[in-house]
Amino acid sequence: MHRLQDKVAVITGAGSGIGRAAAQLMSAQGASVVVADYDTQAAQETARLITTAGGNALPLTVNVLEEDSITAMIDATVEEYGALHVLCNHVGGTDPRTDLDLLRMDMDEFDRAVTLNMRSTLLGSRHAIPHMIRAGGGSIINTASVAALVGDVLQTAYGAVKAAVVSITKSTATQYGPKNIRCNTIAPGAVMTPALENNLPQEVIESLRAGNALPYLGSPEDIAHTMVFLASDESRYLTGQLLVVDGGMTMQSSAAPGRRAMLPA
């Protein structure tokens, strides 16, 4: 059964990692997918993987820091496919080298974080919603992070803007629910994306794994399957919610990993 048959989905940040996995899985479930990414070659490669597998994909180069680029992305989607049903506002992040603690955080990086994570989510939804209304409804899926839920020693801006994404989700769901538009947020924990593997020392990756309740870190597909569920009619009664997909990282006591050694063998 194709759970997304005849739906049109736009996914930002679909050139790699979670975004690419979501694009492939949504296509496999019958959706026509707009693969939007700042990296032109990465977007084209994701689209190639989809079309080779028999799916329908449109690669687009998009800079979500610029409203005109977001507008062009939505317009190109409707021009190509005639409708829009699903929007994944997935692009985000900050530079951990400059997004530090409160006293040492680069304020230019903070401003960039607001635009990249929060403003892009607002604008993506703002330009997509009128088309979703004309289509009879839709699903907006925002990507936050467990950083929105806990304190940390660095990436102060990242946690702040991802918390804002959670709030934006609730407002969007409240305001446009009567138009049959749902809006939910996913907060991933540590996921073995190329970005994580290439930028974190192995000992840090191991410490993240040790902090999970499950004995492994997530894969991009773990988050992407959640996106497919939120895009499908299976989640038709779910809106304004935060789905934490983190292997149990944030739900358990920080003492739990160490205390496991106290259990009898």
* Averaged pLDDT in 10-residue chunks for the chain of 265 residues: 94 97 98 98 98 98 98 98 98 94 96 98 98 98 97 95 98 98 97 82 86 94 98 98 96 86 83
CA 58 to chain centre: 19
The pLDDT value given to residue 194: 82
- Does residue 248 belong to any structural domain of this protein? no
Instruction: Tell me the one-letter amino acid at 222.
Output: D
* C-alpha to C-alpha distance for 47 and 210, rounded to whole angstroms: 35
The pLDDT value given to residue 260: 81
- Does residue 261 belong to any structural domain of this protein? no
Q: Please state the domain count of the chain.
A: 1
The pLDDT value given to residue 142: 98
Distances (CA, A) of 46 to 73, 135, 221, 228: 16, 26, 14, 17
The pLDDT value given to residue 1: 63
Edge to edge, the sheet with strand 138-143 lists 56-61, 32-37, 8-12, 86-89, 138-143, 181-188, 242-245
Asked if 38 is an active-site residue, the reply is no
- Does residue 74 belong to any structural domain of this protein? yes
- Does residue 252 belong to any structural domain of this protein? no
* C-alpha to C-alpha distance for 51 and 58, rounded to whole angstroms: 9
Residue with tokens 């839709």: 138
Residue 260: burial class (beta carbons within 10 Å; 0-12, 13-18, 19+): exposed
- Does residue 76 belong to any structural domain of this protein? yes
What is the tens place of the pLDDT at every residue in 16-60? 999 999 999 999 999 999 999 999 999 999 999 999 999 999 999
The pLDDT value given to residue 38: 97
CB 50 within 8 A of CB 35: yes
CATH number of the domain at 34, please: 3.40.50.720
The pLDDT value given to residue 253: 87
- Does residue 199 belong to any structural domain of this protein? no
The pLDDT value given to residue 33: 98
What range defines the domain where residue 232 resides?
8-187+219-242
**Given 81, 158, 176, 237, the catalytic residue:** 158
